[in-house]
Amino acid sequence: MTSERARAHTLRLILGDQLNPLHSWFARTDPNVVYVLMEVRQETDYVLHHAQKILAIFAAMRDFARHLREAGHRVRYVAIDNASNRQNITQNLAALMAHYGARELDYQQPDEWRVSEVLGAWSASQAFSVREADSEHFYTTRDEVAKFFAPRKNWLMETFYRHMRQRHGVLVDESGAPAGGRWNFDHDNRKSWPGTPPLPPDARPEHDHRALWETVCQAGVRSFGNPQADHFRWPLNRTQALAWLDHFIQHTLPNFGAYEDTMSAGNPRLFHSQLSFALNTKMLHPDELVRQAQAAYETGRAPLAAVEGFIRQILGWREYVRGVYWAHMPGYETRNALAHTRPLPTWFWTGKTTMRCMRDAIGNSLDNAYAHHIQRLMVIGNFALLAGLDPAEVHRWYLGVYIDAFEWVELPNTVGMSQFADGGLLGTKPYAGSASYIDRMSDYCRGCSYDRKQKTGDRACPFNALYWDFFARHQPQLKDNRRLAMVYQRWRDMPEDAQTALREHAALTLTRLDEL
């Protein structure tokens, strides 16, 4: 029997990526409402996760529960090692509804199709009333991007982004014209980084989470990557996230644009914000980042090219990929337009490869649960694309490894943008590059055992032959793409014996991916 003291009229579920203390739910306290957070194997195990991602989510959920209690709310926290934990969201909810004698369940709209389906289907068969609340996080609703593109021919991010700038009055004048007379400053944003300006200090908080890590391990949760439990660096609540945002705007944003696309061995952060975890768990609202960046430009603290570049990622790309996700789920996760089927080489899990670019980018990912956009796209993703790795396996790796990986944002970026597995919905051409691209954008090649200039032979950079082989083998599908006209012209201009040598070397490389 439920004692009177334990009774509650309403339970409200808070998922691990819904840690927004400013949500309207929390505007007032109500003794009839119990907030429920749960650490469950259903969520730790749907993909093999990086240790830091599990730690960060659990630690942030625990911190959020503490914060709610301190603010006077009733909270039921189901820890991973609680004896009554059924390790499943709906089974725990059913037990808790009965325990509290509750008659209403509220949950915030989940961001992943998988969780949304589970909660929706289960709710429909319950006797009590279930309500879905807005998460109050995004600029757009789930279907808004699809509606925007419905009358248009192509899903061009740029068109949507300009619309968002005007609609939200960001970097536009009263007539809707863009600040500085241009919508896009990408051309000014392609510098390489020779070691100066100096990198800003890593002012993210440090936490000691050895005890929590011990609990996670004892509960039998499997993971990979370095837990760094003794000096864990991710912001775990809104206060820490705001401090990190402030630090970014002051010290890093001015250089964000110029060095946005560059890569440097041993320097995983460069001038990137590392705000994605705080954003995706909803500790911060995207509009806070956009307005603070805009204010930095308006007060002369950051150049327009940097501010525009940063805002484009958040107001543009982030909302756009979410719209792509909801427009194409379910089914997007199994797209494989190029029919790629190779398994991931073993060094995706160890970082032990001779290719310096891959060693660095995968090494960062395993050490820090982080790699910046160009490492994700033009090194790791590029290699996976050229080598014809199975996009579903690539997707699962990305979904597990990054601290900020939640399917609504990871899947379109991986399957669409990086693997071209959606056949070109999200990108107008595959993001494929040979060693010359990586050399231009980084300092990797100079210290690599492979030779960036050689195309065949033992020391030839594997990217080179794989690049040409990729375009040769996908000619039927890609040759009419106007953005690839130059690539195919170069291929056709190549003597036949050179083409054959490249394809033979690529074929050999593909048989020994694990040894690269």
Residues that bind ligand SF4 (CB under 6 A): 355-357, 435, 438-439, 444-445, 448, 450, 452, 461, 463
Site for ligand DLZ in 427-456 (CB under 6 A): none
Query: Residue 131 or residue 490: which is nearer to ligand DLZ going by CB?
Result: 131
Residue 355 interacting partner from ligand SF4, ligand DLZ, ligand FAD, none (CB closer than 5 to 8 Å by kind): ligand SF4
Least distance (Å) from ligand DLZ to the CB of residue 259?
30
Helix (H) or strand (E) holding 256: helix 253-256
Q: Which does 469 bind (CB under 5 to 8 A by kind): ligand FAD, ligand DLZ, ligand SF4, none?
A: none
Asked if 281 is part of the footprint of ligand FAD (rule: CB under 6 A), the reply reads no
Q: What is the DSSP letter of 134?
A: P
Task: Classify residue 72 by burial, with Cβ atoms within 10 Å: 0-12, 13-18, 19+.
Answer: exposed
DSSP line for 395-426: HHHHHHH-TT--HHHHHIIIIIIIT-TTSSSS
Nearer to ligand SF4, 53 or 452 (CB): 452
Kind and range of the H or E element at 376?
A: none
Q: Is 311 in the site for ligand FAD (CB under 6 A)?
A: no
| Helix (H) and strand (E) counts in the chain | 23, 7
Q: What's the token pair of residue 162?
A: 């300009």
Q: Which of ligand FAD, ligand DLZ, ligand SF4, none is residue 356 near (CB under 5 to 8 Å by kind)?
A: ligand SF4
Cα distance between residue 121 and residue 301, in whole Å: 50
| Residue 414 interacting with ligand FAD (CB under 6 A) | yes
As a whole number of angstroms, the distance between CA 130 and CA 118 comes to: 13
Shortest spacing between CB 387 and ligand SF4, in angstroms: 12
Residue from 11, 19, 33, 54 binding ligand DLZ (CB under 6 A): 54
Rg of the chain over all Cα atoms, to the nearest angstrom: 24
Name which of 271 and 444 has its Cβ closer to ligand SF4. 444
**Which span sits near ligand DLZ by CB under 6 A: 33-41, 203-211, 364-372, 475-483?**
33-41
CA separation for the pair 406, 101 (Å, rounded)? 33
* Residue 426 contacts residue 417 (beta carbons within 8 Å): yes
* Binding-site string for ligand DLZ from residue 56 to residue 95, where x marks contact by CB under 6 A and - marks none: -x--------------------------------------
Residue 376 interacts with ligand FAD (CB under 6 A): yes or no = yes
Interaction of residue 317 with ligand FAD, rule CB under 6 A: yes
Distance CA 258, CA 261 (A): 8
Give me the least distance between CB of 232 and ligand DLZ, in Å please: 15
- What is the CA angle 510-515-516, rounded to 5? 75
